[in-house]
Amino acid sequence: ATPMSVTVGVGRAAEHGVLIRNAEAMQVAADVDTVVLDKTGTLTEGRPQLIEIQAYQGMGSNQLLALSASLEQGSEHPLAKAILDAASEQSIRLMPQQGFQALPGLGVSGIVNHSNLLLGNKKLMDEHNVDLAAVLTDAENISQQGATPIFVAQDNLVVGLMGISDPLRHDSISAIKRLSDMGLDVIMLTGDVEATAKAIANQAGINHVIAGVLPDGKAAKVAELQQQGKKVAMVGDGINDAPALAQAEVGIAMGSGSDVAIESAQLTLMRHSLHGVADALQLSKATLKNMK
């Protein structure tokens, strides 16, 4: 039978906008010592904006945007939306694309205007032996601002670089401080590149960053922490976070996140704020302490 105080705790959590699937989840949450946070859509707003565009090899920036947006029509990634929004703001007409492929954790590829386009991160460009030497300093500058650098290659020649920024949610910093003050180890886990992830982590007050993780690698990273004896709460919003949410002792989904994430989690945050994580863990710890 569920102890009365746990039932009360589940109810109090709901008053804080935290839905707890069952009493057992609350008991497990009381033992958590490590909080792993996805970056995009969890720590950040999840509404990336194109803030910088640089064209090379004699290409104009509108032409670059036209090619990029035409290719990204096939993608549902938030980064694709940032590029499509920017093109639409400039009233740029999109071209048809062929052979579109989404490459999870890397980017997209396809044919636009009779040329082979690749759009994505350095890993993707390295896989196709695209020489980035001439643009790496520019990319580094973008990362240092906490924005994500996206490279564009046409027939394996780099023709563009875009900076896409997804700022921290306004109250993420204070929520991280609460979690740290509770003595919890706070870790950022993201598919984004290390330099960008570290810049955002710095702003958020997070010292521990695991970056460059492919979508299907997040659950393995959580398992590694568990093998070190950590009791992990994983917080995420995306389809690619679902296996990690299921792997963790406690999975916590953003209520604004994908259905798959919510189904994989024991806790759901109905307010779009990481203060819900601190509230839930604090309540669980207080509830279980009263029982001992």
User: Is 41 a residue that touches Mg ion (CB under 5 A)?
Assistant: yes
User: Is 276 a residue that touches Mg ion (CB under 5 A)?
Assistant: no
For ligand ADP (CB under 6 A), the number of binding residues is 22
The listed partner (ligand ADP, Mg ion, none) that binds 120, CB under 5 to 8 Å by sort, is ligand ADP
The listed partner (Mg ion, ligand ADP, none) that binds 237, CB under 5 to 8 Å by sort, is Mg ion
Which member of 72, 166, 192, 237 binds Mg ion (CB under 5 A)? 237
Of 19-27, 100-108, 110-118, 169-177, the segment contacting ligand ADP by CB under 6 A is: 100-108
> Residue 288 Cβ, how far from ligand ADP at the closest point, in Å?
32
Task: Give yes or no for a contact between 55 and 33, defined as CB atoms under 8 angstroms apart.
Answer: no
Which member of 13, 28, 37, 38 binds Mg ion (CB under 5 A)? 38
Of 91-99, 186-194, 201-209, 219-227, the segment contacting ligand ADP by CB under 6 A is: 186-194
User: Is 167 a residue that touches ligand ADP (CB under 6 A)?
Assistant: no
Which member of 238, 251, 257, 276 binds ligand ADP (CB under 6 A)? 238
User: Is 238 a residue that touches Mg ion (CB under 5 A)?
Assistant: yes
User: Is 75 a residue that touches ligand ADP (CB under 6 A)?
Assistant: yes
User: Is 148 a residue that touches ligand ADP (CB under 6 A)?
Assistant: yes
Active-site position among 31, 33, 38, 171: 38
Task: Give yes or no for a contact between 54 and 147, defined as CB atoms under 8 angstroms apart.
Answer: no
Q: Annotated catalytic, 38?
A: yes
User: Is 244 a residue that touches ligand ADP (CB under 6 A)?
Assistant: no
* Listed residue (194, 137, 133) closest to 158, CA to CA: 133
- How far apart (Å, rounded) are the C-alpha atoms in residues 256 and 238? 10
- How far apart (Å, rounded) are the C-alpha atoms in residues 152 and 161? 6
Query: Residues near 7 by Cβ (< 8 Å), separated by ≥ 6?
Result: 23
User: Is 69 a residue that touches ligand ADP (CB under 6 A)?
Assistant: no
Spell out, one character per residue from 182 to 221, where the chain touches Mg ion: x when CB under 5 A holds, - when not.
----------------------------------------
Distance of CA 221 to the CA centre of its chain: 15
The listed partner (Mg ion, ligand ADP, none) that binds 215, CB under 5 to 8 Å by sort, is ligand ADP
> Residue 96 Cβ, how far from ligand ADP at the closest point, in Å?
18
The first and second tokens of residue 256, run together, are 């604004």
- How far apart (Å, rounded) are the C-alpha atoms in residues 196 and 202? 10
Query: Residues near 24 by Cβ (< 8 Å), separated by ≥ 6?
Result: none
Query: How many other β-carbons are positioned within 10 Å of the β-carbon of residue 229?
Result: 8
Q: Footprint of ligand ADP on this chain (CB under 6 A)? A: 39-40, 72, 75, 77, 79-80, 105-108, 119-121, 148, 150, 190-192, 215, 238, 240
Q: Which residues are catalytic?
A: 38
Q: Footprint of Mg ion on this chain (CB under 5 A)? A: 38, 40-41, 237-238
